[in-house]
Amino acid sequence: MSKKKNRKKMDPVSRVILIISAIVFLGSGGYLVYKYFGEPLLEQWELSSYKKDYDSEEPSTAQDGVWSNDDGQKEKEEERLEDGTLASFKTIRELNSDVVGWINVPNTLIDYPVVQAKDNSFYLKHNINKDYNSSGCPFLDYRNNIKPGSTTRNFIIYGHHRRNGTMFAKLTSYNDIEFYKENPVIRFDTIYERSEWVVFSNFRATTSWATGTPFNYIKTDFKSDKEFTDFVGEIRKRSLITTPVEVTAEDDILLLSTCSYEKTQWRMIIAARRVREGESEIDVSSAKKASNPLMP
């Protein structure tokens, strides 16, 4: 005759504790999934949805490493509002008057409105509706002046590097030299003018002495042309790619800055210069991986 195994019954208090623990565990897991995947994807969708309110244009792509523009960057006649801003931005600026432009990097998810606050911290954790959000919103350095005729020569746009591939994460595509040759030109339109920018550098910098030698790439004021061209030279020294794109004292440059996960406090920066008026062709087919870039 077989003996029945004694099973110790769980007392009511322990059962309740177990159920509560399971609920907490599942709830915490669900929250983390939402926080790290759901929320950023929702933010991505929301930002992309504003494109219908802005008449954006896709950046021109290159063929065999040669970018061409038959119009020669001839400015199109566009409707403007009384304050001189492009009517294309009217709807989205009614949503948020901090909107100052639109950034588009070809063949990536980067196709977003750009805002500007009175500091470089607010939009790190707030979305375009000014609601708290860990994805933030791409924003222009508060010291930059986008008005025509301004003395700003280095425009800087910051964006998070989300591990799920949203926001500025896809700037890592420029680590691939073939991607660069096919997509050397990005578009950054301001509320005053449309413009394209040709990438000339992909570099790394650090913000902490603990992880290298800091490089002040967010410098916005230059006392002379030489100081500006020296600055451009420092950017080139650090570039992971060697490009034939010329940058002179007469040019403006644009930096797209995001986190680099190679080391703590490192930043990945894509540097581009404005496509010049009348410039109809840019050949980057000779671009190659840099042999000895200056790292932080």
- Could you list the active site residues? 259
**CB under 8 Å to 285, separation ≥6 — which residues?**
64, 65, 66, 181
Q: CA angle, corner 292, sides to 288 and 296, nearest 5?
A: 115
What the block records as the tokens of 9 is 């019954």
Helices (H), 116-264: 177-182, 225-237
CA distances from 233 to 35, 77, 228, 248, 257 (A): 40, 36, 9, 10, 18
Q: How far apart are CA 224 and CA 78, in angstroms?
A: 34
Checking DSSP bridges between strand 253-260 and strand 154-158, what pairing results, if any? parallel
Q: How many CB atoms lie within 10 A of CB 63?
A: 11
Question: Phi and psi of 220, rounded to 5°?
Answer: -115, -15
Whats the size of the chain, residue-wise? 296
Q: How far apart are CA 153 and CA 273, in angstroms?
A: 10
Three-state SS at 156: strand
